[in-house]
Amino acid sequence: MVVRKRKSYIASLDNISLTLKPGDSVGVIGLNGSGKSTLLRLASGIYAPDEGKVFIEGAPSTLFTSTVGLSVEESAIRNIRDGSMLMNVATSEIDNIITEVIEFAELGRFAHLPMRTYSAGMRARMGFGLATSLETDILLIDEVFGTGDIAFYRKAQNRISDRMKDASIVMIATHSSAIIKDFCNKVLWLDKGQVKAFGDVKSIIEEFNHSVEGIV
């Protein structure tokens, strides 16, 4: 007798319905495994939903780790050039982007060296600088600020504020309440793949922090 085992599936996201508009800067919170990273990858087009539909109007730019899409064997200059070309940036604008990103990331002479020689903070500044230098409508960030110092944090905050002036949409998945309060005007709380709450930053952050008190 042959016994066939049934495959078990766990839905990373379940019955999510969410509409964002220009000017929204949304912090995505939840415990590990709640679906934060999956949601951002759906929003970027990296993942396709098994059920339902995702409608994306505009060009997304992603920063999921400090080195996603970057070659650590190549220099920052080469990575910025390649990244700009992939985003169809006009050739005449690429040199300006290279100069701007290197200045923002404070790479100095390291700009000509392979990225494997960079510290974690330098990689974070470089990746963030590139992701936010390209003209895109949607910026998706997944837990990258922990590797930066306070100066970088403030520069990143100012940079996102500038993006908001251009009516972009920003989504940041993070465990840090401080980052949510500093960067976002809305918060999305995911719990076991479902929307627990969406809206006001202060009240939802307080409710979330209260719910996780005592959880190790």
Q: Which of 172, 175, 198 is nearest to 184 (CA)?
A: 172
Name the phi and psi angles at 20, rounded to 5. Answer: -115, 150
Nearby residues of 47 by Cβ (< 8 Å), 6 or more positions away:
38, 41
Structure tokens at 18: 């969410």
Residue 4 has pLDDT above 80, yes or no: no
pTM of the predicted structure, to 2 decimals: 0.73
pLDDT of residue 142: 83
Structure tokens at 166: 């251009």
Compute the distance between CA of residue 136 and CA of residue 190 in angstroms, rounded to an integer: 26
Kindly list the structural domains of the chain, giving each domain's residue range(s) and its CATH number in brackets, ordered by start: 1-58+137-216 (3.40.50.300), 66-136 (no CATH)
pLDDT of residue 144: 65
Tens of pLDDT, residue by residue over 83-132, are 888 778 889 999 999 999 999 999 999 999 999 999 888 888 888 888 78
